């Protein structure tokens, strides 16, 4: 039989969102138990060991201006950030030709640049009309929720080159096929994340900084503070509510509480049975949540040799694997690391991955190194190490970032975050600002804690 405990609030999930919620509750004088399915804290943040104390981030890694809540949390936890390396020229590679450029705008053809600008202008103009707390009330909400972001791009981009740029930006930040996400959802994200430039840029944008020691340090610090309140290896399989409270059943421990905060993506929450059953809207949001998966591939070199050639390490390309490359070296540049993302996005524009890429790590490695050699020369062909983190095989995390398909926002509105009796919903997917980001995870936690505290545990 499981052990039994009782507490004011149970938090399910020890990612940034769940642990932030637990800490804020403890700070407010509530007793709390955190149940985590996996054998580690951090969820979609984790470190990969490179060598002798050098780490690189297998999951979420960047923070940037405007992400105030995660930046405040970093400050509270005494964690420092450092800027993503972008000094020097970046590379734009398309149709077999490489061009080097300064600044943030790749040298697209003049027609494609104009096309990109008109797409950006229109999307941002549309996004400005979308209320963040209630996107479904936008005047054109029904029209925009009836189509996908990918189909809108297909219909409105005049050049393949501008459309490719959007696909790359979308792929890195959303890790899914643009044809599976509602246009309305994307407009809300554009508005809630500070605009398209902010979403795609390093300097001044969402990729500006990283956390010294890796973002998983956030979760580790929070868990250290919470101590024995955090129980690992405790997958929750049932939440049962009654008039007096809630019983949360997990593989290791059953916990009785006044309230529960479920801090994970709606897709992951779908695996927890709820009794009595969930309202139809919440059930549908969970069931139809579209999770994007993505792998991060890293090539490690003795030093960041590209810097010696005046290169930033950043590249935007149409190569088979390395569509976006960035310098992910540690703050002291003691070793050189180049990172790319392998997602599902450009497959959505009718492209197929090269054979074996999705299932064979060796094929991924050699295709990635071949691309890096095209961009950075022969020295890129022989890294001292190759690392990757493939998020398709996680037992408890079904995706990197995800979103709602067409029709879901206008039909089920705020069912993703509306409390169900004593159940409150956190996790970055329930944030209205910086949804999908670490900052959204913190904001969602703070909103769920406000709900719990303001209703009064047990009331
Ligand atoms: C490859 C990748 C790159 C990213 N890049 C960035 C970036 O650069 N910047 C940025 O801001 N964000 C980035 N993100 C997103 C960011 O990592 C997430 O927004 C954030 O970590 C989500 O935190 P969370 O606490 O909401 O959810 P999660 O981290 O998913 O936490 C949920 C937790 O719940 C647990 N769980 C699931 N089911 C159960 C169950 N039944 N019982 C108990 N526990 C359960 C899971 O194991 C997990 O630990 C990236 C994500 C990935 C994967």
* pLDDT (tens digit per residue) in 178-201: 888 999 999 999 999 999 999 999
**CB distance 409 to 435 below 8 Å:** no
| Statement to judge: residues 387 and 298 lie in one domain | yes
Ligand 1 center to 445 CA (angstroms) = 13
8 is written with which tokens? 């004011």
Is residue 116 a part of any domain in this protein? yes
| Statement to judge: residues 114 and 38 lie in one domain | no
CA nearest to 74, candidates 217, 224, 203: 217
Is residue 37 a part of any domain in this protein? yes
Ligand 1 center to 266 CA (angstroms) = 12
| Total domain count, the chain | 3
Ligand 1 center to 328 CA (angstroms) = 20
**CB distance 264 to 13 below 8 Å:** yes
* Per-residue pLDDT, 425: 98
| Statement to judge: residues 309 and 339 lie in one domain | yes
201 is written with which tokens? 């840029």
Contacts of 355 (CB under 8 A, 6+ apart): 363
53 is written with which tokens? 């104390």
* 272 CB near ligand 1 (under 6 Å): yes
User: Which residues of the chain carry a pLDDT beneath 70?
Assistant: 1-3, 344-350, 456-459
* 216 CB near ligand 1 (under 6 Å): no
* 210 CB near ligand 1 (under 6 Å): no
* 81 CB near ligand 1 (under 6 Å): no
* 263 CB near ligand 1 (under 6 Å): yes
Pairing of strands 32-35, 3-12: parallel
* Per-residue pLDDT, 174: 81
For residue 263, the cross-strand partners are 426
3-state DSSP assignment of residue 448: helix
| Statement to judge: residues 56 and 39 lie in one domain | no
From 11, 12, 15, 201, the mutation candidate for ligand 1 (largest count of ligand atoms within 8 A of CB) is 15
**CB distance 263 to 426 below 8 Å:** yes
Residue with CA nearest ligand 1 atom 21: 44
Q: How far apart are CA 384 and CA 405, in angstroms?
A: 42
Residue with CA nearest ligand 1 atom 53: 400
Q: Which atom of ligand 1 is nearest to the CA of 62?
A: 8
**CB distance 183 to 152 below 8 Å:** yes
* 336 CB near ligand 1 (under 6 Å): no
CATH of the domain at 230: 3.50.50.60
CATH of the domain at 377: 3.90.660.10
Is residue 286 a part of any domain in this protein? no
Contacts of 332 (CB under 8 A, 6+ apart): none
Ligand 1 center to 339 CA (angstroms) = 20
Is residue 73 a part of any domain in this protein? no
The DSSP secondary structure of 314-368, one letter per residue, reads EEEE-SSS-SEEEE---TT-SSEEEEEEE-STGGGGT--PPTTTTT-HHHHHHHH
Place of tokens 């104009």: 114
* 171 CB near ligand 1 (under 6 Å): no
* 402 CB near ligand 1 (under 6 Å): no
Please say which residue of 136, 168, 200 terminates a domain.
Answer: 200
| Statement to judge: residues 239 and 259 lie in one domain | yes
Q: What is the span of the domain harbouring residue 262?
A: 3-43+215-278+420-455
* Per-residue pLDDT, 330: 96
For residue 61, the cross-strand partners are none
Contacts of 29 (CB under 8 A, 6+ apart): none
From 43, 68, 294, the mutation candidate for ligand 1 (largest count of ligand atoms within 8 A of CB) is 43
Neighbours of 90 (CB within 10 A): 24
| Statement to judge: residues 312 and 329 lie in one domain | yes
* Per-residue pLDDT, 345: 55
Is residue 399 a part of any domain in this protein? no
Q: What Rg do the C-alpha atoms of the chain give, in angstroms?
A: 22
Ligand 1 center to 44 CA (angstroms) = 3
Region class of 194: left (phi > 0), else alpha (psi between -120 and 50), else beta: left
Contacts of 442 (CB under 8 A, 6+ apart): 16, 17, 20, 69, 70, 73
Helices H, strands E: what count in the chain? 15, 22
| Statement to judge: residues 245 and 303 lie in one domain | no
Residue with CA nearest ligand 1 atom 19: 437
| Statement to judge: residues 313 and 372 lie in one domain | yes
| Statement to judge: residues 429 and 385 lie in one domain | no
* CB environment 414-438: b (16+ within 10 A), e (fewer): bbbbbebbbbbbbbbbbbbbbbbbb
State the DSSP code for 182. B
Q: How far apart are CA 257 and CA 422, in angstroms?
A: 9
| Statement to judge: residues 313 and 375 lie in one domain | yes
Q: Which atom of ligand 1 is nearest to the CA of 40?
A: 49
Ligand 1 center to 140 CA (angstroms) = 32
Which alpha helices (DSSP H) does 208-248 contain, by range? 216-226
Is residue 165 a part of any domain in this protein? yes
Is residue 130 a part of any domain in this protein? yes
* Per-residue pLDDT, 458: 43
Whether the full predicted model's pTM is greater than 0.95, yes or no, is yes
* 116 CB near ligand 1 (under 6 Å): no
Q: How far apart are CA 140 and CA 163, in angstroms?
A: 23
Ligand 1 center to 264 CA (angstroms) = 7
Please say which residue of 345, 375, 393 terminates a domain.
Answer: 393
CATH of the domain at 161: 1.10.405.10
Place of tokens 């690391």: 337
Please say which residue of 150, 168, 200 terminates a domain.
Answer: 200
Which alpha helices (DSSP H) does 8-109 contain, by range? 16-27, 68-76
* 236 CB near ligand 1 (under 6 Å): yes
* 11 CB near ligand 1 (under 6 Å): no
Q: How far apart are CA 450 and CA 344, in angstroms?
A: 36
Ligand 1 center to 43 CA (angstroms) = 4
Q: Which atom of ligand 1 is nearest to the CA of 394?
A: 47
Contacts of 110 (CB under 8 A, 6+ apart): none
Q: How far apart are CA 149 and CA 180, in angstroms?
A: 8
Is residue 348 a part of any domain in this protein? yes
State the DSSP code for 255. E
| Statement to judge: residues 21 and 55 lie in one domain | no
Contacts of 155 (CB under 8 A, 6+ apart): none
| Statement to judge: residues 163 and 223 lie in one domain | no
């Amino acid at each position: 039989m499981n052990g039994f405990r009782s507490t004011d609030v149970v938090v399910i999930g020890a990612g940034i969102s769940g642990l932030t919620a637990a800490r804020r509750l403890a700070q407010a004088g509530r007793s709390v138990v955190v149940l985590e399915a996996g054998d580690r804290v951090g969820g979609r943040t984790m470190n990969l060991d490179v060598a002798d104390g050098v780490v690189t981030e297998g999951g979420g890694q960047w923070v940037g201006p405007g992400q105030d809540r995660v930046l405040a949390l970093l400050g509270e936890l005494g964690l420092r950030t450092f800027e993503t390396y972008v000094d020097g020229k970046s590379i734009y590679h398309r149709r077999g030709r490489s061009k080097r450029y300064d600044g943030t705008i790749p040298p697209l053809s003049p027609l494609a640049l104009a096309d990109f600008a008109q797409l950006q202008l229109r999307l941002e103009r549309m996004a400005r009309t979308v209320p963040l707390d209630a996107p479904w009330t936008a005047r054109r909400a029904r029209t925009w929720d009836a189509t996908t972001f990918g189909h809108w791009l297909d219909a409105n981009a005049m050049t393949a080159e501008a459309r490719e740029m959007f696909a790359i930006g979308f792929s890195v930040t959303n890790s899914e096929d643009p044809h599976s996400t509602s246009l309305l959802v994307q407009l809300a994200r554009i508005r809630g994340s500070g605009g398209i430039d902010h979403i795609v840029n390093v300097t001044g944008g969402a990729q500006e900084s990283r956390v010294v020691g890796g973002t998983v340090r956030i979760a580790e610090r929070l868990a250290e503070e919470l101590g024995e309140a955090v129980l690992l290896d405790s997958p929750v399989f049932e939440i049962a509510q009654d008039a007096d409270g809630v019983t949360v059943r997990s593989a290791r421990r059953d916990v009785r509480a006044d309230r529960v905060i479920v801090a994970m993506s709606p897709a992951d929450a779908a695996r927890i049975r709820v009794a009595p059953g969930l309202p139809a809207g919440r059930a549908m949001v969970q069931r139809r949540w579209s999770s994007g998966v993505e792998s991060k591939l890293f090539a490690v070199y003795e030093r960041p040799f590209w810097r010696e050639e005046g290169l930033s390490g950043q590249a935007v390309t149409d190569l088979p694997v390395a569509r976006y490359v960035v310098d992910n070296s540690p703050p002291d540049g003691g070793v050189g690391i180049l990172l790319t993302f392998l997602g599902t996005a450009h497959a959505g524009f009718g492209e197929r991955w090269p054979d074996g890429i999705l299932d064979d790590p060796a094929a991924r490695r050699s295709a990635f190194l071949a691309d890096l050699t095209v961009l950075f020369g022969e020295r890129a062909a022989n890294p001292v190490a190759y690392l990757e983190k493939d998020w398709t095989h996680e037992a408890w995390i079904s995706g990197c970032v995800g979103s709602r398909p067409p029709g879901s926002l206008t039909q089920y509105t705020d069912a993703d975050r509306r409390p169900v009796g004593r159940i409150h919903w956190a996790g970055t997917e329930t944030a209205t600002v910086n949804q999908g980001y670490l900052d959204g995870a913190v904001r969602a936690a703070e909103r769920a804690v406000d709900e719990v505290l303001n209703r009064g545990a047990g009331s």
